[in-house]
Structure 1
Amino acid sequence: MSPALRIGATGFGLIAVCYGFARFAFGMFLPQIDADLGLGATLSGLIAGGSFLGYCIAIVASAWATERFGARSVATAAAVVAAAGMAGIALAPSAPLLAVAVVLAGSSTGLASPPMAAAVSAAVRSARQDATNTAINAGTSAGVALTGPVALALAGQWRLAFGAFAIVAIVLAAAAWRALPAARGGDGAGGWPTLDAAVLRLIGACFLMGAASTAVWSFGGQLVALRPGWDSAGTGLLWSVIGAGGIAGAWAGALVARFGLDDVHRAFLGLMAAGAVAVGSGFASPPLVLAGGALFGAAYVMLTGVYLVWGVRAFAQRPATGLMVGFLTIAVGQTVGAPLFGALLDMIGAVGAVTSFAAIALLSGLFSAGGARTDRRDHPPPGRPVGTAQRAAPK
């Protein structure tokens, strides 16, 4: 098996488990968990905030650890953390212990992505790196797409579901240890990346896209619930098609190679905006709402793939850090965007709020990747192909 296929398949599974099961499945089972443990709205909100904080801390720590301990160790640790968190959810006897387990499980998402970028840079030939990175990134969608059917099939048996998810995560930990290189994701420079104009453009694009995405990620269920006759099964179906549509993000690398970062970026920002309007405007029929959800999912994962490629190219010798900058900024944008959308929803209604956030998505296209790399110290020396430093790094 080629390095690209071996690392791509392992990374796809790891991202699917950490994002789809360890992070997003909790929301699908929340009504049943609340009924059993009596979380209440206040504690549910604290859990959500803690999960975000855990993600932000974990992705920074993961980039740092990957550059020092290597992709294999950190990716394996991500799967183990996911397994421990989900086992904790399955066994939690009380709301406070459940909250700790949910935050632990959710933090695995921050741990998982940077080592995969480093593994690809270390072992996959440069011509296949963008395609492999974006295929791995699309694992998020596979995980999200599976949560809906699992929730429906188990009919509220959330402890059983999370116990099964924990077992899958242990399998992925073993696979990551066997399949991934031990090479580090850096050249020894360390430290926070230089925030020059090119990096600030990446941050601006990621922040606005992340903020705009909360119209669907945070409020999609609430928006469709406002429609007459739209029940909880319809909301679960919407989530499944969002996840299924996102699998198209696996082709982000191929599209970038053919059309360039800027053209793909702007095109899918437009599609994400259109999908959000279809889901939340209140004008579309149910089939069009589901089509809009699939379009949103495809565009969102495609855009995260674009930012992954953008960040890794910007920091050619520090791929884990390049990914961290973009993905952390998306999460910060989502944190700011969610309360802002909620306030707009109360003040001007669904149509005005969704339209405003679609416009924010389009504004992200004002930021251009350009052709230049960012930090001079991150450039490979003349004549050395990208990834050489990682291949030569000590194990």
Structure 2
Amino acid sequence: MGGSGRTRAAARLLARCALLAIAAAVVVLFLALGEAGPLVLLSGLGGIVLSAAGVWWLLARRGPLRLLGALLAVAAPVGVLIHYIDEGVWGNALLALGLYVLALICARAALRATGKAYVMRGKTRPRPRRPVLIMNPKSGGGKVGRFGLVERAEKLGARVHLLDTEGATDVEALARKAVADGADLLGVAGGDGTQALVAGVAAEHDLPFLVISAGTRNHFAMDLGLDRADPARCLDALTDGEQLRVDLGTVSGRPFVNTVSFGVYADIVQRPEYRDAKAGTALNLLPDLLGGSGPRLDATAGEKRLTGQQAILVSNNPYATPDLMATGLRARLDRGKLGVIGLRVESAAQAAELAVRGGRSQGLSLLTARTVEVSAGMDTIPVAVDGEALTLPTPVVCTVRPRALRVLVPRHRPGTVAPSSPLNWRWITALALGRAR
């Protein structure tokens, strides 16, 4: 049996384990019903509803309602547990919950086993002779120093510019000067916002671009299949690399490699206190943003129209799956399309539906387009571009430049595997029976 056959067999086994775990959870619940009656099921469902309402009030309200929401979010599951203990079925409940979690783990593993390894293959090009790398020593908690990136890059013949973390270095101007001085490659060890600015200059001059995963999250590096655990391995591209042609997004003329966020998240990251107190700032602003006083967004994505959205996310190529349990991954970066996610949640019931149904929720819109125009009934709106806070005049226009960026990557790199589809129990059943495509 070949590698793909073994993978398929492993996925089928995992799907069967998921179904067995679900079936066992149902049996355990029926045993509990036989001992204590249907009231235990009704109390469990009621606890879930009350807890969801409490979480919504905690996030979307202030004052007494927020306090009540916090108490309800904790008291509802505790009350259900006490009821189960009184009825003598708490063991059944915990066992059923554990089996359900096991089923989700097995189902997710089955999806990943059938997913495709998104390692784009490129073309071999001559080794760069005058590479210039821009590094942020503070990015990612000091990864540049911790992994000895400067020393390793200079040994490979690269010229390194360290950003002045105390001042406001114009990264784009620094990249343009490097090009004027004869650089035949530009690279960045830093966050995705810095990556995007330098990538724009590289694309403008049709120079190869090197991504070094020295940021905090490294979403762009992840989707390129680079090693995020050891950024020094990204430098292998200087001696044994291949070039990929990927798309580059633009928002009001500014390049972006990952996402442009409008609405809730963009409003939060605008605040100066966000950098030092992320959770506290978000908790303080969410009532206004979710409760209706925040700006509502309208968007035109191709021929589709979204109105009254609380948040809109535009991505450079669509994400592989809208499943909220899955890690956000882009299947490819060269499809020549923008991904668009619109969010409109106005009640606890809608929030619960979003948590349960994910991409199939009515409050979530998933589109693709080559051009997206966002407006909000005001002259300017806050925008987060690859995590960087900006304020842009409306309407804000996002476009994609197909295959505009030449990215130099190591020939040998970990790659990325995304689920082949959102978590769908009908598909898991078909996989377990050997009928899934």
What is the TM-score with the length of structure 1 in the denominator?
A: 0.22
Structure 1 or 2: more helix by fraction: 1
What is the TM-score with the length of structure 2 in the denominator?
A: 0.20
